[in-house]
């Protein structure tokens, strides 16, 4: 399941992020790449332990904690602290797959990467190229979103970032371990949650079938979730 979530950050937040990241230290993006992806990767990143990365990363997590679409789609268990990358003209990232397990630096925590996320920080009209191209069962999907919007996609997908040919592509990216490991099960829960929300509006929260479907949702979570 590939989901685009608009307005994760407000316009004002995006402005603040860009100003702070302008002054960040930037290093070669291959520091977090595995052996295969390092060969394909050409960009820069704010270091994982830089204060600016941690502060802005926490602001991303705060925004997501209040985002109903994200919570319903991801059912997050553990979230890797968000990182920040920058693709200048000529940069890109060839086709690769993200590492399955990500240790969080300086902690004993390890995150199994079920979902990958990219939060766009520059307006799409300010750069050419820089599309996130994700291979899916229905063909390649090209994703390039408004500043402040985020895409969530299965980490099991092959993907790439097309070469930037004008301007700069600035983004936050991270991975998460979901309470529900299987993408198909998670997609069913997301659809069911959507329908329950819609029926709650038309039939009211006290409606017998709404209550029964809510029970089905929670009993499926009980069956499929790890905590
Ligand atoms: Ni990747």
pLDDT of 96-147, one tens digit each?
999 999 999 999 999 999 999 999 999 999 999 999 999 999 999 999 999 9
Q: For residue 206, what are its two tokens?
A: 């006290």
Q: Please check whether the two domains, 3-178 and 183-224, share a CATH topology.
A: no
Ligand 1 center to 148 CA (angstroms)? 19
Q: For residue 74, what are its two tokens?
A: 């991801």
Q: Which residues surround ligand 1, an ion (CB under 5 A)?
A: 98
Cα–Cα distance list, 6 to 3, 68, 144, 145, 194 (Å):
10, 12, 12, 8, 17
Ligand 1 center to 73 CA (angstroms)? 20
Q: Class of the 183-224 domain?
A: few secondary structures
Ligand 1 center to 132 CA (angstroms)? 9
Q: What is the pLDDT of residue 88?
A: 96
Ligand 1 center to 159 CA (angstroms)? 6
Ligand 1 center to 116 CA (angstroms)? 8
Which residues, including other chains, have CB under 8 Å from residue 37's CB and lie 6 or more apart?
93, 96, 97, 98, 99
For residues 12-27, give the mean pLDDT. Answer: 95
Chain-centroid distance, C-alpha 143 = 12
Q: Each residue of 135-159: pLDDT tens digit?
A: 999 999 999 999 999 999 999 999 9
Ligand 1 center to 173 CA (angstroms)? 9
Q: For residues 227 and 214, give the distance between their C-alpha atoms in angstroms, rounded to a whole number.
A: 20
Ligand 1 center to 224 CA (angstroms)? 27
Ligand 1 center to 86 CA (angstroms)? 14
Please say whether the structural domain 3-178 has been given the CATH code 2.60.120.20.
Answer: no
Q: What's the pLDDT band for 39 if we cut at 50, 70, 90?
A: confident
The domain segmentation of the chain, as residue ranges, is 3-178, 183-224
Ligand 1 center to 211 CA (angstroms)? 40
Strand residues in the chain grouped as ranges (E): 3-5, 27-28, 41-42, 44-45, 76-79, 83-87, 92-96, 101-103, 110-112, 115-120, 132-136, 139-143, 150-154, 159-161, 169-178
Q: For residues 220 and 157, give the distance between their C-alpha atoms in angstroms, rounded to a whole number.
A: 25
Statement: residue 35 has pLDDT above 90: no
Say what percent of the chain tops pLDDT 70: 100
With H, G, I as helix, E, B as strand and everything else as coil, classify residue 70: helix
Ligand 1 center to 123 CA (angstroms)? 21
Ligand 1 center to 96 CA (angstroms)? 6
Statement: residue 37 has pLDDT above 90: no
Reported pTM: 0.95
Q: What's the pLDDT band for 36 if we cut at 50, 70, 90?
A: confident
**65 in Cβ contact with 143 (< 8 Å):** no
Quickly list H helices, 23-135.
35-40, 51-65, 68-74
Ligand 1 center to 105 CA (angstroms)? 18
Ligand 1 center to 160 CA (angstroms)? 7
Q: Each residue of 64-97: pLDDT tens digit?
A: 999 999 999 999 999 999 999 999 999 999 999 9
Ligand 1 center to 29 CA (angstroms)? 11
Strand partners, 154: 115
Q: What's the pLDDT band for 38 if we cut at 50, 70, 90?
A: confident
Q: For residue 142, what are its two tokens?
A: 């090209």
């Amino acid at each position: 399941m590939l989901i685009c979530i608009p307005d994760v950050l407000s316009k004002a937040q995006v402005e603040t992020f860009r100003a702070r990241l302008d002054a960040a230290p930037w290093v070669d993006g291959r520091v977090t790449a595995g052996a295969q992806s390092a060969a394909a990767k050409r960009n820069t990143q704010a270091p994982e332990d830089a204060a600016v990365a941690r502060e802005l990363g926490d602001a991303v997590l705060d925004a997501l904690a209040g985002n109903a679409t994200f919570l319903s789609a991801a059912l997050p268990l553990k979230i890797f602290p968000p990182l920040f990358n920058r693709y200048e003209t000529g940069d890109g990232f060839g086709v690769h797959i993200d590492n399955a397990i990500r240790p969080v630096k300086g902690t004993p925590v390890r995150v199994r990467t079920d979902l990958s996320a990219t939060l766009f920080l520059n307006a799409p009209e300010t750069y050419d190229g820089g599309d996130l191209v994700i291979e899916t069962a229905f063909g390649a999907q090209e994703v390039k979103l408004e500043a402040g919007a985020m895409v969530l996609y299965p980490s099991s997908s092959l993907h790439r970032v097309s070469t930037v040919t004008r301007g700069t592509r600035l983004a936050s990216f991270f991975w998460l371990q979901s309470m529900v490991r299987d993408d198909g099960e998670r997609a069913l829960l997301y659809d069911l949650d959507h329908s329950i929300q819609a029926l709650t509006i038309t039939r009211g929260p006290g409606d017998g079938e709404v209550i029964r479907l809510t029970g089905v949702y929670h009993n499926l979570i009980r069956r499929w979730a790890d905590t």
